[in-house]
Structure 1
Amino acid sequence: MVRASAPETSTPTPPAAARGPAHPGVRALFPALTEAAEVYLDSASTTQKPRPVIDAVHRYHRERTANAGRGTYPWAGALTSEVVAVRAAMAEFIGAAPDEVVFTGGATAGLNAVALSWGLANLRDGDEILYSPRDHASNVYPWQHLRGLLARFGRRIELMPYRVNELGEADIEDVAARITPRTRMITVAHLHHVFGGLTTLEELRGRIDPRIALCFDCSQSGGHVPVRMAELNADFAVFAAHKMFGAPGTGVLYCHRRRHSELLPFLPGGNSGVSLDDSGLVGGAMPQLLEGGTHNLPGILALGAALEVLGELGLDAITAHNRALTRRLIAGLRPITGVEFTPGPAYAPCETGYGIVSFTVAGISATDLGFVLSELGFLVRTGAHCVPAGGPAADEDSVRVSTHIYTTVDEIDRFTQCVATIAEEVS
């Protein structure tokens, strides 16, 4: 934890788009917000669901429920076409080809698919993976699990940790210094789930051997900022639908075509595209190679509806709205005695922010502060935020505030006033 710099002299006035929801009628899109008195400030954990997403789930269960890719009757055929359309829409959303878009059970499932489908097949004794132990557990544990599995078969791989700077971003020079001829993958949080720092690895463009796979956890950036695979030069990337207005239990794994020939089947079984010959399983085409079993069909349809809502609202508008709220939140918290910010946008030299700010208040634990805030109607996340147990940041409990397009400046101002009152009482 690092202490905030000197207080700003004034609170910035937000642009008109940030004073209320950034799109006419946007608040009415989210039924839970129109019916609840509480202020929801935990969108990094999961976003509220707009009516079209809720309707998509209900419609699947209510009208012509069937399976996709199995039957030739009209119900099944129509559903198969809808899944194909959602895949194409997701591909367009991230600048990919449809066969590079794999539907998964979530971002965690996607990262484990990379570890088990690509890692088991391609990593050799002495190879290295660069990672941050301060990332979400889902971008740490799969690589540790992979290391343990390979060790059982006599292959030793190394997990090389790199630092995070005070902006909450991967320390690029530290990453560069740790790259060796044995480095096979660099995995990174595109938008950090606690610190709110954005890492693209752009500064390393041209300095990374193209044989090194780049893997991005886009769980927090998807649906919050424009994310384009070509700009990231990503080999793999994962998205969590429930953090981008979609339903829980659905995710997307992006896998660049240049890696397709390196993949083993994942979840082989029905609908996985594999076949048998005398040597055993033979992998089929992507994306079916990584999609064995029955799809989470209501979740995929909900993702399609979420993508339509995001398109109508506009990612640029969402990004600007979250940036304005982030700066407003920091400006409101900074003068409060006892407030300490974690690494993140509070230390940025320019106007930046992506809707995530974490902090502590002296004299009260993060857990207790979160409880008091919830009693007063403010719903925030507290604790270590799924940072791996036993890691270097596992004991850095904090309060995390995270916003989205439906969050208003009035809510942020009332929140910071509430924190100021609590801080004064515990000082």
Structure 2
Amino acid sequence: MGSALHPPDHRAPADDPRTPSDVLPAQVRAAFPALAESTETYLDSAATTQKPGAVIETVRDYHAVATANAARGTYPWATALTQQIEAVRRRTARFVGAAHDDEIVFTAGATAALNAVALSWGLTALDDGDEILYGPTDHAANVHPWYLLRDTLARFGRRIELVPYRVLPDGRADTTDIAGKLSRRTRLLTVTHLHHVFGALNSLADIEDRIPGRVVRCYDCSQSGGHLPVDVTALGADFAVFAAHKMFAAPGTGVLYCRRRVHSALRPFLPGGGTDADLTADGFEAGRMPGLLEGGTPNIPGILALGTALGVLESFDMATIAAHNRALTLRLIDGLRPIPGLRFLPGPAQAADSTGHGILSFTVDGITAADLGFVLAEYGFLVRTGTHCVPGTAMDRESVRVSTHVYTGLDDIDRFVDRVRTLAEELS
């Protein structure tokens, strides 16, 4: 067993007959202090992941040892932090599959990153009559910025259209509908890579040859980042956003991937100290990436924590984590399906093939999702309930969402299923 600072290699040997789900949880829970000290079963990793001891120590060490500002001084404490942040940028680029380090921008979170796309690209790149294709059941962070962008541009006489696309019964974005709605005015196509309620994985690969080169593609990878392998280059993304706190790191830090082909169209969205730009006699002249979009003092402990978190994720191996979550999801579906009165939302339970990525949502007849979540918490099962930040009336019902990660075990799933079955039987 490794220490909390240095997790062991958790991958099963090639000749080990056990699945990752048999091997992993018993070996890793001790590396997450909140889990090691708790009797509850945490099933809300889509909201935020638990933090390894190594990440906690990284945040503590920044505040306790050689605290300074990065890129602001020439003394050793400051220069060391500057170098460390650039090292995290390089590591992040490799982790998400970016071709170049300058395509990685650190933000205050995934929500801030999506708003940065609207403000740094949308305000200046979109013309009157242009269109944005979006998923109305996506997280509010991937819907509200486009509505605000439309309203802001309208105040200056530019009218853009927001065009919603359909969702299939298995929770995936309907790429046939997307392809049919692409027009000569389409400038942005935004999609959630892994849906935060449905747990469905989206790709535009099957309509790749039907998407014109002028269409900028934006992926919300808030749920896929840190839960399964992500390669933004393979996705064909121009923009992609990640939430560090869903990747074992601390809240208040996000990643915005900006493909080099869009760099020339970007303007600062948060100009200030550190922004790569110049004031000239003729006005404001934008500089180079990523400094162009990184004004102000960064969240230094958050960025350092992200670097540590990526190391922890890599020690587990992302393919192994994805296989683990798939096994847990299938076990959950098989256990819940026979329960009377239980209804699945769109997602892996409706898919034709055996798939799953650690997110599943459902309701039970005779009890509200909020009440069911409260009762489950009384028995030690921590789940998310509600409409899960889907805006407006796009989500027609509240639900219970179960979400897993590498520290979740088959035993957790089995005990959870037993409890839901007992409650459903009592209600019926």
Instruction: Give the TM-score normalised by structure 1.
Output: 0.95
Q: Residues 21-71 of structure 1, C-alpha deviation per residue, up to 9 Å, x if partnerless?
A: 26x731111011010000000000000000110010000000000000010
Q: For residues 166 and 20 of structure 1, what CA distance do their matches in structure 2 show?
A: 33
Q: For residues 271 and 173 of structure 2, what CA distance do their matches in structure 1 show?
A: 35
Give the deviation of 1:405 after TM superposition: 0.3
Matched ranges for 1:361-380 at <5 A? 361-380=364-383
- The answer to whether the aligner puts 1:132 opposite 2:117 as a matched pair is no
- Matching residue within 291, 295, 305 for 2:294: 291
Partner residue of 2:4?
none
| Aligned-CA RMSD value | 1.0
Q: Which protein has greater RCO, CA pairs closer than 8 Å, 6+ apart?
A: 1
Number of residues paired by the alignment? 411
Contact 1:19–1:410 (CA<8 Å) still a contact in 2?
no
Q: For residues 38 and 215 of structure 2, what CA distance do their matches in structure 1 show?
A: 48
Q: Residues 203-259 of structure 1, C-alpha deviation per residue, up to 9 Å, x if partnerless?
A: 111110011000000000001111111110000000000001000000000000000
Q: For residues 248 and 235 of structure 2, what CA distance do their matches in structure 1 show?
A: 23
Q: Residues 88-115 of structure 1, C-alpha deviation per residue, up to 9 Å, x if partnerless?
A: 0000101111100000000000000000
Partner residue of 1:282?
285
Q: For residues 298 and 267 of structure 2, what CA distance do their matches in structure 1 show?
A: 19
Q: For residues 15 and 183 of structure 1, what CA distance do their matches in structure 2 show?
A: 48
Q: For residues 65 and 353 of structure 1, what CA distance do their matches in structure 2 show?
A: 43
- The answer to whether the aligner puts 1:74 opposite 2:73 as a matched pair is no
Q: For residues 254 and 18 of structure 2, what CA distance do their matches in structure 1 show?
A: 33
Contact 1:337–1:423 (CA<8 Å) still a contact in 2?
yes
- Matching residue within 317, 320, 326 for 2:320: 317
Contact 1:269–1:293 (CA<8 Å) still a contact in 2?
yes
1:134 aligns to what SS in structure 2? coil
Partner residue of 2:230?
227
- The answer to whether the aligner puts 1:25 opposite 2:4 as a matched pair is no
Give the deviation of 1:20 after TM superposition: 4.7
- List structure 1 runs of 4+ shifted beyond 3 angstroms: none
Partner residue of 2:387?
384
Q: Residues 155-188 of structure 1, C-alpha deviation per residue, up to 9 Å, x if partnerless?
A: 0000000011111110010111111100001000
- The answer to whether the aligner puts 1:85 opposite 2:87 as a matched pair is yes
Task: For 2:220, give the aligned amino acid.
Answer: D
Partner residue of 1:340?
343
Give the deviation of 1:347 after TM superposition: 1.3
Give the deviation of 1:16 after TM superposition: 2.9
- The answer to whether the aligner puts 1:103 opposite 2:103 as a matched pair is no
Give the deviation of 1:392 after TM superposition: 2.2
Matched ranges for 1:118-267 at <5 A? 118-267=121-270
2:91 aligns to what SS in structure 1? helix
Give the deviation of 1:19 after TM superposition: 2.6
Identity %: 63
Q: For residues 19 and 277 of structure 1, what CA distance do their matches in structure 2 show?
A: 62
Contact 1:107–1:240 (CA<8 Å) still a contact in 2?
yes
Instruction: Give the TM-score normalised by structure 2.
Output: 0.95
Q: For residues 70 and 204 of structure 1, what CA distance do their matches in structure 2 show?
A: 46
Q: For residues 61 and 205 of structure 1, what CA distance do their matches in structure 2 show?
A: 47
Contact 1:15–1:324 (CA<8 Å) still a contact in 2?
no
Partner residue of 1:6?
none
1:227 aligns to what SS in structure 2? coil
Q: For residues 167 and 94 of structure 1, what CA distance do their matches in structure 2 show?
A: 26
Q: For residues 17 and 145 of structure 1, what CA distance do their matches in structure 2 show?
A: 44
- The answer to whether the aligner puts 1:356 opposite 2:347 as a matched pair is no
2:319 aligns to what SS in structure 1? helix
Q: For residues 168 and 26 of structure 1, what CA distance do their matches in structure 2 show?
A: 31
Give the deviation of 1:391 after TM superposition: 2.9
Q: Judging changes above 3 Å, is the alpha-carbon distance between structure 1 residues 273 and 400 closer, same or farther for their aligned structure 2 residues?
A: same
354-363 or 200-209, larger mean C-alpha shift? 200-209
Task: For 1:35, give the aligned amino acid.
Answer: E
Partner residue of 1:399?
400
Contact 1:20–1:407 (CA<8 Å) still a contact in 2?
no
273-282 or 410-419, larger mean C-alpha shift? 273-282
Give the deviation of 1:425 after TM superposition: 1.0
- The answer to whether the aligner puts 1:115 opposite 2:118 as a matched pair is yes
Task: For 2:380, give the aligned amino acid.
Answer: G
Task: For 1:175, give the aligned amino acid.
Answer: I
Give unmatched runs, 5+ long, in structure 1: 1-13
- The answer to whether the aligner puts 1:62 opposite 2:64 as a matched pair is yes
